[in-house]
Chains A and B, each alone.
Chain A
Amino acid sequence: MKDCKPMPHLMPLEPVCVPPLPLAHAYIPNQPYVGIVPVEEGFKRGSMFPNLYQPYHKKNKIC
């Protein structure tokens, strides 16, 4: 159990005063129906929905 203690440099061991804010907030935008791609194409892409197709390109890399 001692392994489960937070890393001292990452989290203060003493309680600190923080405002009562939520830890995180997830959101999922609505997905509008804009049609689907042909089955052969969707199978290759991994999505039938053109608006969910966002392949990772190295040239768009930020860091």
Chain B
Amino acid sequence: MPMDERQQLMRQIQQLSFATVDLNLYLDTHPMCQQALFEYNRFTQELLRLRRMYEMKYGPITNFGYAPSQYPWQWVSEPWPWE
């Protein structure tokens, strides 16, 4: 089944989330590697941008104070971020 726009954006967020975790783990043992740090910061900026875009359009990805909500309270409105 082809992904709709929301699912495509979520997939990009998942890809960047994975990339930042993997680079984070590398940097834990190679803290002086400037190239890895550059990529980590680049992906982090892009991840923040896409998360904000997703949450503006489709509602919060995380709750409990990790993302603001529009009115009315968005967390309980479907689809859920994992749907």
Contacts and interface: CB of A to CB of B under 8 A. Distances in A.
B23 A48 contact: yes
B33 interface: yes
Contacts of B26: 31, 33, 48-49
Contacts of A33: 26, 30, 33, 35-36
B16 A39 contact: yes
* Interface of A, helix, strand, loop or mixed by DSSP: loop
Interface in A32-57: 33, 35-36, 39-40, 42-43, 47-49
With a 10 A CB-CB cut-off, give which of B26, B33, B43 has the most chain A CB atoms.
Answer: B26
19 contacts: A33-B26, A33-B30, A33-B35, A35-B35, A36-B19, A36-B23, A36-B36, A39-B12, A39-B16, A39-B18, A39-B19, A42-B15, A43-B14, A43-B15, A47-B22, A48-B18, A48-B22, A48-B23, A49-B26
Interface of A: 31, 33, 35-36, 39-40, 42-43, 47-49
